[in-house]
Chains A and B, each alone.
Chain A
Amino acid sequence: MLATGLGLGADSLRIEVVEWVFWHFRAEVFPMDKSMNAILIHNDDNVVTTTELLQAGSVARYQKDEVVVEIVSREEIPKFHKIAVADIEKTKPVYKYGQLIGEALENISKGSHVHDHNIASPKEKS
């Protein structure tokens, strides 16, 4: 909308696409349902962010589209940290915001804590 206002012509489409990717989570995620305790920012993500401390064996509950997804945490996950919602093989990408945030340093099982002990910047490793 802004792009059109500025008369950027062909560029505006590109900007709109980025806007969608970027702000997708705003409309979809917030305001979030109070019964949820984790947030999936983008559907391509293989991690979600917890909104409370999860003990090992407790359930992380997040919304994907209209569906509530539950995963059991394999270990304690601190508040606002990440939990894997899929198995991530060693060297494979980790996605948050629909974007690459790092690569797995080891095989990470679904339900595990994902942090600097098991992921790193892609550049750091090269």
Chain B
Amino acid sequence: MTARMDNKFAALKAEGRPALVTYFMGGDPDYDTSLAIMKALPEAGADVIELGAPFSDPMADGPAIQLAGQRALKNGHSLKKTLDMARDFRKSDDTTPIVIMGYYNPIYIYGVDRFIDDALEAGIDGLIVVDLPAEMDDELCIPARRKDINFIRLTTPTTDEKRLPKVLTNTSGFVYYVSMTGITGSALPDPSKIAGAVERIKKSTDLPVCVGFGVKTAEHARLIGASADGVVVGTAIVNQVATSLDKEGRATADTVQSVATFVRGLATGVRSARLVAAE
């Protein structure tokens, strides 16, 4: 549903602060723990949730997210269960936008039309599909947009001025600027360069621009949030899950709490971002 996303960004704009967009891997390490993490995110200060859908071959992800996906799959997670999780979450939260982030093959095998219908019904607001560039819009982007699901596109440092309009054409919800050439979880580049890139993108679109890849701390979130409309944190959250597990890779009493505490810190970061910018 596109309205939920638009309302959220409008409200944040009125509030005068950037969005905290939090990624976690659905089903990591198990369904119930993962659902508890999802439910804890808005309360801890997350504005938008990226629900990771695991894939056996996550080519754009670093080791942390690869391993999280392997843990989820090993415990029997699937795209169907990812949708179930969103549906369960919606029972108690009807305002936080949910974006499914993953790779195309599980959706293709699920069946594109069936997936879009089920995603809508489950309360999904947007999709980020890493391996569907603008050239492949007929596959999923256009059918999803037709049914009122956002298709959020990644733009990267290699997306030059000439290419940017093509990338933005069918994008909706927000634009996800990837801060670097690389995989998730790499080191964050110079925030001033990122600010310049965000400014360039904003000249070509009225959509909010959120920045991700490499954002690991509240301080990063504060710096990036000074110029961006949103800050995406993924690997650092996934790492909180990983370090809380026992030797067999099972959730412990700390798992949900450590994610919530970490996200609370990030939320402080984004909430102070514009104070810095105003100085």
A and B pair up: no
**Interface residues in chain A, defined as those with a beta carbon under 8 Å from any beta carbon in chain B:** none
